[in-house]
Each structure stands twice: as structure tokens, then as C-alpha cells.
Structure 1
Amino acid sequence: MKNIRAGRPVSCRCVEDLPKVTCFNPEGVSPSRLESVVISVDELEALRLGDKMGLYQADAAARMRISRQTFGRIIESAHKKVAEAIVEGKSICIAGGHVEAHSGPFGTSGPESCVCLGCGYENPHLDGIPCRIELCPQCGGALVRKGRSSSVDT
């Protein structure tokens, strides 16, 4: 069951692209002993903008349409999770988050569709039926409306 917290609701974070790969496994750890760390799509976007692209936090935050302080919290969380996975030999899985796409494969042009954040599967959106009530036929993950604000829990 989801924890209900008091205070301000979480705002959508804009991301430019879905991850191409959603899980990384360490070599030399048997599958029966393998533990994992889950990084959300917005944490991955923060790593991409801040670490890979080298943007200042204020610039990266503006691209994600969040405050600089929120960006700092997101990237700090992502850094801790990645460090935990590397130091303790855990897999890193990318799933979930509260995201809104503003370019890339989430583009809003053309017919509306439902997309799986887990594997990228898409199917046409049927009016009157929320995407979130359907499951991905390929991986069983939750579907979200392409290009809309979406909260996905893992």
C-alpha cells in the first residue's frame, strides 16, 4: 500500500527520453544472491543531465521544470543508490517515477498511445479507458499515457 504523506503533492518531472536499458547486473554474483536497487526515471534523467551532460544544477532543473533544490535532492538520491549498487554488488533497475515527457519518444504529436515505462511497449489509447488500468502484454508493467504526467509505482 502506498504511503500517504501530508504536504505538497509531488509535481511531474520532465524527461526527454525513456531508458533504452532498464536493468544492469554485476558480473560474478549468482542470481539467487542478487539484490537490486531501483532508480526512478526522474533520477536517471537527473544523472543524465547533471553527470553525463555536465549541466549546472540550475540549468538541469530548468530542463526538468523543477526547482534547483528538488533537482539536488533527486540527484543526491540517485548518487546514493548507484554507489550502493556498485559497492555492494547489487543490480540497478530503472522503473517508476513521476514524469512528464516533453520531447523524444514521448512526443505528443500524432495519435495518442499508452506506453510501458518498463520495456517501451506501445499500443493505441482507447478513449474512455485509462491507460493505467491496463498491463503491458510483454513485461506485465503498468502502462501510462504517452506525453502526459504519470506516476508509476514499482
Structure 2
Amino acid sequence: MARPRRFRRISENPQIRCFKPEREDLDNVNPIEILIDEFEAIRLRDYHDIQQKRSAEIMGVSQPTFHRILSSARKKIADALINGNTLVIIGEGHMNQYECNECGFEWLHPRKEYEKCPDCGSTNIHIVEDENRSEDLLMQRKSYGGTGLRAGPPKVCKCPNCGYESPKERSVPCSNTKCPKCETPLCGVE
């Protein structure tokens, strides 16, 4: 079984999604579909001229994966230009996050709809609606080597004295922040 596709960060969705050549017989020609991650790779590397290694880091993928995405996009664009096909950009800059109610496994996918868990095969799954939670999960997995929601840094900094809570700032230990009410150093809470 193929593993679920890794999340690819998309900085911005395209403003224009379709490019058509000046042709009379467009009805007989199939449009060429460029995925949103291919669009992002072209935007970062070719339009903004960001080096491939840095572009891969921005998208949250390995350099070889970025190269494959970029090569695929360039090939599709070349095909459309040479053969006069329509280019259509498909996909959105967010992912569907799924969770298995049986085993707790969580995964992301940009387009595919799942009917069963890829880990245990259960059909008792649901889509997690909170997009911010998806991004938090991805940052935990990437930055801290975790395998799920139970891994990684605390999500909230809390005062042990008065109970004041504030969102955890990335790269800033909770103990470096003092409670605005009682000046006590905060503690990390899951």
C-alpha cells in the first residue's frame, strides 16, 4: 500500500487558473492539468528565482521531491506551449486532514477522499475540520520528529500560579515568558 502523500506548503493560491491558446479547435484538445504544488514549485524557483534547496525547504519537501515536482511542471508547460493545449491549475493550498476513530492514525491528502484508514483499514474515519490544527501537527512532525499529535512541543503556555494561558510561540520556551498578571514564569501544557 502506498503511504499517504506528505503535506506540501503552498504560500498563495494562483489568481488565474486557466490559460488558453488562440485556437479554433480547443474542443478536441484535452487540457493539461498542473497541480497546485507544481504551480508553487514554478513560482518559487522560476518566478522568484529562489534556489532549489531553499524552495524545497519553503514547501516542506525534500530536495529530490522538489526537483521531481518542478520537472513535472516544466514538462507540462512545455507540452502546452508547443502543442497549443490549455493549461489548467487544479487544487487548493490546503489539505484534507483525516483521523481514524479506531487507531487514532492521522494523515493528510490534497485531493483524494479516503473511505478507510491506510494504517488499520478501519472505515470509522472522519475529516478534521480545524485547519490551524493541521498546520500545528505538521510543524510538530517536521520540527520535532514526532509521529502524531502526542509528539512535539506544548501548544499552550500556562501560569502555574493563577492559570493564565497564552499560545505557545515557536522557538521561545514557555519559561522565558512571564505571566502578565503575577510575573510567574509560564509552563508548557499539552
TM-score, normalised to structure 1's length? 0.59
Letter in 1 for 2:16: V
Letter in 2 for 1:32: D
Partner residue, 1:15: 10
Letter in 2 for 1:66: V
Partner residue, 1:67: 62
Q: CA deviation at 1:146?
A: 5.7
In 1, Cα distance between equivalents of 2:130 and 2:67: 28
Higher RCO (CA 8 Å, separation ≥ 6 residues):
1
Runs of at least 5 residues in structure 2 that lack an aligned partner in the other structure: 96-110, 112-125, 136-190
Letter in 1 for 2:66: F
Identical residues among aligned pairs (%): 31
Give the alignment of 1:1-150 within 5 angstroms: 6-96=1-91, 99-100=93-94, 148=134
SS in 2 for 1:38: strand
RMSD value over aligned CA atoms?
A: 2.7
SS in 1 for 2:14: coil
In 2, Cα distance between equivalents of 1:28 and 1:146: 41
Change (3 A) 1:25 1:76: same
Letter in 1 for 2:71: E
Q: Is contact 1:29–1:89 with CA below 8 Å preserved after alignment?
A: no
TM-score, normalised to structure 2's length? 0.49
User: Quick check: which has more Rg, 1 or 2?
Assistant: 2
Q: CA deviation at 1:145?
A: 7.0
Runs of 4+ in 1 over 6 A off after TM superposition: none
In 1, Cα distance between equivalents of 2:80 and 2:29: 11
SS in 1 for 2:33: strand
Q: What are the superposed Cα offsets for residues 6-43 of structure 1, whole Å, 9 maximum, x if unpaired?
A: 34321010011111111100012333223210000000
Residues 52-61 or 30-39, more deviating = 30-39
Runs of at least 5 residues in structure 1 that lack an aligned partner in the other structure: 1-5, 102-116, 118-128, 132-143, 150-154
